[in-house]
Every structure is written in C-alpha cells, then in structure tokens.
Amino acid sequence: MHPWNEPLFESLKRRGERFPHALLIHGPRGTGKLALAERIAQYLLCEAAVKPCGACEGCRWFAAGSHPDFRRVEPEALAREPLVDAEEGDAPAKKAKPSTEIKIEQVRELAGFLNVGSHRGGQRIALVHPAEDMNDNSANALLKGLEEPPASAVFLLVSHRPARLLPTIRSRCVALPVAVPPRETALQWLSGQQLRSPERWLAYAGGAPLLALEYAEKAETVERLLQHPAPVDDRDALDALAEALQKMALDRALSAFGLPPKYQTGVGRADPTQAHAWLKFARQMGEHRQLSRHPLNPKLFSAEMLAGLPKSLK
C-alpha cells in the first residue's frame, strides 16, 4: 500500500466489528486504490491479534495469492495469463483477444464461492476491479449478492469511474473516496522510485503518482503522440491518442485564457480567439475515449479525431 493512503486504511481499522459488508473504493486512476483494497483484504483475512501481521498462515497465503477465502474478479485483459507448456512439435493455438469486460460467468462463480462456508472460519472476501467494467448482466448479478449478502462475506469494489456503476450498486456500498495525494508527497515518492523528470510526468498524470510512473515508462510514445499526432492502426492505441489530444487541447485552452498549462504538453502561446474551440475539441476527445474500446476501425476513427483539430494545429 502507498504511504498517502495509510490514513484511509487506519480509519477503516478503527471500525472494528462495524466493518461494512460492501466497500466502494473510488477515485482517479493511479492513486493506489487497488493496493489499498488488497491491504484491506489482507487485514480482514489476517488471523493474528494485531492485524495485518504479515506472518500468520492467512497473511502468508494471501501474499502467495492462494488464500482459499479470497477471490479477485477482473477482466481477462487484466488477469495474468497462466503458463501453458505446449507439446513438442505442436503449433501454438490461436487465442481469442482477452475480454475487457467482467462477464456474468465470473460473477456467478463468485456467488458460488461466497455462499459456501469459510475455509479458515473467518470472512470471505470478493475484490471486484475495476467495478465499472462489469457489463449489464454481470452488474445485475452482483447486485443480487449486494442486496442479500451472505453471512461473513465482504465485497471490495474498486472503481475509477463510479458514475458508470448502477445507482443501486452504489447505494448498497459504503463509499471510500481516494484522492490524488498532495503534490509534494507525490513528488517525494516518485523521487524514491528513481523517476527522471517527476514534475513533468506528475503533471501529465493529473497528480496521480502511479500513472506518472506508467507515462514515464512509455515516454517516447507519449512524446510522439503530442508532437506528431497521427492515425493509429492498433485499437489499443486509440485511448492513448485521444488522451494526448484531450490534454493538449486543455493546455491550449488554458494558454489562450492566459493561464498556465496543467498537463505540461509542451504547447506554446495559443490564440485567445480559439480558446472555446480548444475546449470543444477537448470535450470531443473525452467522448472519443469512452468509445475507443468499441469494435471500430482504428485508423478511420483516429483520422476522424485528428480531422477535428482546430485549424491552428492542422
């Protein structure tokens, strides 16, 4: 767990036996929500008097990823691929592209896990991440479990975009908002990770330290998108292009209004008469980011995005 989330964790520990049966941990990407959820799960599964101890059998199983009373539900695209040994001479089978949604089958399997007795005589924990990646069927299936939670079952929902969850799901969870840490705290932590130019990448990440690390690792790609935006062939690159264009547009709009840029995208002084055009384009890119995972023709879709650029950058 990251140091800026320690106060949130300590506040939950003080609840003791009044711990909620469902917790919605939400906030911007890159703020350590998943690590916080995992720490909470370890705390609930710890078998020592002072929790989490890190030394008891429950903590050791959790650290090894094999605790029988813990389940993680996430899209196939986020799950680790198991290693498969192919027989000598066999051609590798063609694999379907991993799903980016949490499917109803996964939630049904979770219901089966939660409705049996605990292996260790304690609680059973279900961690759903990111919760907004459930499709309609899986969300409704999870709702049934939240409405009538099995005894000693705890749901930990991690969400980057809680507004995309069903209102009925949100209403049955205790919300735990996770904000971006103070800038100096984030910069100090990033410096400890040996990150070069932490100020630049923290700005591009909107203050989220873990995102700053991700962007720094693919700095060459980000810089290319900002300096020479061009159509992309890969559907996975659509979101990165839309994000770069959106942040660049917001920085240009701020510059046009005489304000300092927020994301440090390297924009120069923008024409004040185009401020509203840049804001409009930024909103369009936000909408395109939501569509970027749909089965579109990536090259045509990215070309359409670029065609909407205000004239000064075309």
Same domain, 36 and 157: yes
Nearest alpha-carbon partner for 36 in 67, 12, 71 = 12
The amino acid sitting at 61 is W
Q: What is the pLDDT of residue 81?
A: 45
pLDDT digits (tens, 9 = 90+) for 193-235: 988 899 999 999 999 999 999 999 999 999 999 999 999 988 7
Is residue 199 in a domain? no
For residues 244 and 161, state if they share a domain.
no
Q: Is residue 63 helix, strand or coil?
A: helix
Please count the residues of the chain: 314
**Residue numbers of the domain that contains 130:** 3-80+95-177
pLDDT at residue 95 in the model: 57
Burial 261-282 (b: 16+ CB within 10 A, else e): bebbbebeebeeebbebbbebb
Question: Residue 30's domain is classified under what CATH number?
Answer: 3.40.50.300
Q: Give domain status of residue 209, yes or no.
A: no
Between CA 312 and CA 314 the distance in angstroms is 6
Query: pLDDT of the chain along its 314 residues, tens only?
Result: 899 999 999 999 888 778 899 999 999 999 999 999 999 999 999 999 888 999 999 999 999 999 999 999 999 888 754 433 334 444 445 456 778 889 999 999 988 888 887 777 688 999 999 999 999 999 999 999 999 888 889 999 999 999 999 999 999 999 999 999 999 999 999 999 988 899 999 999 999 999 999 999 999 999 999 999 999 988 778 889 999 999 999 999 999 999 999 999 987 777 889 899 999 999 999 888 877 776 578 889 899 889 988 875 54
Kindly state whether residues 21 and 168 are assigned to the same domain: yes
Is the residue at 73 inside a domain? yes
Note whether residue 162 is domain-resident.
Answer: yes
Residue 17 lies inside a defined structural domain of this protein: yes
Residues 172 and 223 in one domain: no
The alpha-helical segments, DSSP class H, found in the chain are 6-13, 33-45, 57-63, 104-114, 136-147, 167-171, 183-192, 198-204, 209-217, 219-227, 238-256, 275-291, 298-307
Q: Which of 119, 145, 177 is the last residue of a domain?
A: 177
Q: Which of 177, 209, 243 is the last residue of a domain?
A: 177
Q: Are residues 166 and 99 in the same domain?
A: yes
* Bridge partners, residue 23, by sequence: 156, 174
Owner of token pair 């790609």: 221
Asked whether residue 103 falls in the same domain as residue 235, the answer is: no
Residue 137, both tokens: 């069927």
Same domain, 222 and 173: no
What is residue 301's three-state secondary structure?
A: helix
Let me know whether 28 and 101 are in one domain.
yes
* Of 122, 145, 177, the domain-final residue: 177
Cβ of 258: how many Cβ atoms within 10 Å?
Answer: 10
Q: Is residue 203 part of a domain?
A: no
